[in-house]
């Protein structure tokens, strides 16, 4: 039997399993295209558990694209606080403005053109929200499929992604959204990434090649990860009376967000006067690690900063979690 035929046979048991066993998640209720967009952007690079409550809160605050589009950027950033990867919030905000004006796009191409939506997210949104037969292939789906076919393609290669996308596209059933979600769910709770997959609970156990050969854990095959670049930074928490200096970050990591002033390790920083405390901290981004030496210091000059009290910072500014270690100084 060829791959396509085998995968076709795997569709009904997967859908049947999903209907019985799917988790009760907030974004699976009251579906609208806008809600699907919010959940998919929130779930990019963030665990389901971390998103659950935030999704509900976010929608309480911004129940429609129109409501989100009419909020201020600061309000949106604040509502996103703690979820990290703030560019997603900015993209969602921009997408809401487009949707509020033009309506929700009705095709994969239209969805893909929204800010922050790549191939995977476009597939997820257009299959779940619009019922289009569009595969959403990420690491989870690649893991399941390489196990299912005992396929040792390197899942780090674009060619592998393309291959499995085409294979899936050829077997998409009319229940497109359910199928996309069923694949995601299988990867999340049965054919799991860390530790052995739970083949005993898997709707594909009778068809899966890796399971038949007992080689489940040899898949997926992936190339070595690129090492993260380390940036050594001096972070200044400048104090003037009961106010602290914030600066809007320029291009690069955390662009557009307010944070504490930073310089490369060892560069002079004339705005700092007497140093009151020092502390080291590390923050890991996807491709970069910040190794920070934080200094609480008296301000020697006003500088071109925004000055705010601890209460104002807590209330109005989404201080990125990269600076979390230095928040205790804000008092
Ligand atoms: S049988 Fe096991 S390895 Fe195969 S898809 Fe199911 S959980 Fe994954």
Q: Residue 325 and residue 115: Cα distance in Å, rounded?
A: 31
In a domain, 224, yes or no: no
The domain boundary residue, chosen from 161, 196, 218: 218
- Whether residue 250 is found in the same domain as residue 278: yes
Ligand 1 atom at minimal distance to the Cα of residue 198: 7
- Cα 297 to averaged position of ligand 1 atoms, centre (Å): 56
Among the residue ranges 160-174, 177-191, 312-326, the one predicted with the least confidence is 312-326
274 and 322 belong to one structural domain: yes
d(CA 103, CA 261): 40
Shared-domain flag, residues 22 and 162: yes
The CA 311 to ligand 1 mean position distance, Å, reads 51
Q: Are residues 187 and 114 in the same domain?
A: yes
CATH number of residue 311's parent domain: 3.90.79.10
Burial of 241 (C-beta count, 10 Å sphere; 0-12/13-18/19+): exposed
Q: What is the pLDDT of residues 234-245, one digit of tens each?
A: 999 999 999 999
DSSP annotation string for 125-172: HHHHHH--------HHHHHHHHHHTT---BTTSHHHHHHHHHHHHTT-
Q: How far apart are CA 237 and CA 160, in angstroms?
A: 47
Domain boundary among 158, 192, 218: 218
Nearest alpha carbon, ligand 1 atom 1: 205
Query: Which residue do the tokens 């095959």 mark?
Result: 221
18 inside domain = yes
- Among 183, 218, 253, identify where a domain stops: 218
Pair (207, 309) in one structural domain: no
* Banded model confidence at residue 302, pLDDT cuts 50, 70, 90: low
Domain membership of residue 223 (yes or no) is no
Q: What element of type H or E holds 295?
A: strand 288-299
75 is annotated as an active-site residue: no
**Which domain does 263 fall in, by range?**
229-329
Confirm whether 131 is domain-assigned.
Answer: yes
In this structure, the answer to whether residues 167 and 237 fall within a common structural domain is no
For residues 153 and 219, is the Cβ–Cβ distance under 8 A?
A: no
Query: Considering the entire predicted model, what is its pTM?
Result: 0.72
Closest ligand 1 atom, CA of 216? 3
Q: Which of 10, 205, 213 to mutate to test the pocket of ligand 1 (most atoms within 8 A of CB)?
A: 205
Given 30, 40, 53, 289, the catalytic residue: 40
Digit-coded pLDDT (tens) for 193-218:
988 999 999 999 999 999 999 999 99
- Measured torsion, CA atoms of residues 163, 165, 166, 171, in degrees rounded to the nearest 10: 130
Distance 220 CA to ligand 1 centre (A): 12
Residues 206 and 250 reside in one and the same domain: no
Q: Is residue 257 a part of any domain in this protein?
A: yes
| Residue 226 alpha carbon to ligand 1 centre in Å | 28
For ligand 1, atom 8, which residue shows the shortest CA distance?
191
Q: What's the start-to-end Cα distance of the chain, in Å?
A: 68
CA atoms in the 13 A half-sphere facing the CB of 63: 2
Question: Is 279 part of any domain?
Answer: yes
Burial grade of 208 (CB within 10 A; 0-12, 13-18, 19 or more): buried
Structure tokens at 209: 């090649």
Percent of the chain past pLDDT 70, that is, above it, reads: 99
Could you tell me where the DSSP H helices lie in 170-287?
176-189, 209-213
Give the position, in ligand 1's atom list, of the atom nearest the Cα of 199: 2
- Chain position carrying tokens 């600076």: 323
Q: Provide mean pLDDT across the span 98-127.
A: 96
40 shares a domain with 78? yes
Q: Are residues 178 and 255 in the same domain?
A: no
Judge if 166 and 251 occupy the same domain. Answer: no
Q: 38-96 pLDDT, tens per residue? A: 999 999 888 899 899 999 999 999 999 999 999 999 999 999 988 888 899 999 999 99
Using alpha carbons, select from 319, 307, 194, 189 the residue that is nearest to residue 244.
Answer: 307
Same domain, yes or no: 132 and 171: yes
Answer yes or no: is 152 within a domain.
yes
Average pLDDT score, the chain: 93
Instruction: Return the best residue to mutate from 202, 206, 212, 213 for the ligand 1 pocket (most ligand atoms within 8 A of CB).
Output: 202
The minimum-distance atom of ligand 1 relative to the CA of 197 is: 7
CA 198–ligand 1 middle distance (angstroms): 7
Same domain, 211 and 246: no
Domain count, the chain: 2
User: From ligand 1's centre to the CA of 19, what distance in Å?
Assistant: 18
Mutate to test the pocket of ligand 1, among 144, 188, 215 (most ligand atoms within 8 A of CB): 144
Burial letters 118-132, b for 16+ CB under 10 A, else e = ebbbbbbbbbbbbeb
Instruction: List all residues whose CB is within 6 A of at least one atom of ligand 1.
Output: 144, 147-148, 190-191, 197-199, 202, 204-205, 208, 210-211, 216
Give alpha helix (H) positions in the chain: 3-21, 33-43, 48-61, 65-69, 73-80, 87-102, 108-112, 119-130, 139-148, 158-169, 176-189, 209-213, 310-316
Q: What is the CATH number of the domain that holds 110?
A: 1.10.340.30
């Amino acid at each position: 039997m060829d791959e396509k035929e085998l995968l076709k046979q795997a569709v009904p048991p997967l859908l049947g399993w999903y209907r019985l066993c799917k988790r009760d998640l907030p974004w699976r209720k009251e579906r609208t295209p806008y809600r699907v967009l919010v959940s998919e952007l929130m779930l990019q690079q963030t665990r389901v558990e971390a998103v659950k409550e935030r999704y509900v809160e976010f929608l309480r605050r911004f129940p429609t694209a129109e409501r989100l589009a009419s909020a201020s950027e600061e309000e949106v950033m604040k509502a996103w606080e703690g979820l990290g990867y703030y560019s997603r919030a900015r993209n969602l905000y921009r997408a809401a403005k487009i949707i509020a004006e033009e309506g929700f796009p009705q095709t994969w191409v239209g969805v893909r053109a929204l800010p922050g939506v790549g191939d995977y997210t476009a597939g997820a949104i257009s299959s779940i929200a619009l019922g289009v037969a569009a595969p959403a292939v990420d690491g989870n789906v690649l893991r399941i499929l390489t196990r299912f076919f005992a396929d040792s393609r390197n899942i780090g290669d674009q060619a592998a992604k393309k291959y499995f996308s085409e294979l899936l596209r050829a077997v998409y059933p009319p229940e497109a959204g359910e199928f996309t979600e069923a694949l995601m769910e299988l990867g999340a709770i049965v054919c799991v990434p860390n530790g052995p997959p739970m083949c005993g609970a898997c709707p594909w156990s009778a068809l899966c090649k890796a399971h038949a050969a007992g080689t489940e854990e040899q898949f997926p095959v992936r190339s070595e990860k690129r090492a993260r670049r380390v940036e050594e930074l001096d972070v200044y928490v400048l104090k003037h009376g009961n106010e602290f200096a914030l600066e809007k970050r320029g291009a690069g990591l955390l662009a557009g967000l307010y944070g504490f002033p930073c310089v490369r390790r060892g560069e002079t920083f004339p705005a700092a006067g007497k140093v009151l405390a020092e502390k080291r901290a590390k923050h890991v981004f996807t491709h970069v690690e910040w190794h920070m030496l934080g200094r609480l210091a008296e301000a020697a000059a006003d500088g071109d900063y925004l000055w705010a009290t601890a209460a104002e910072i807590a209330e109005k500014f989404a201080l990125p979690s990269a600076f979390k270690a230095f928040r205790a100084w804000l008092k």
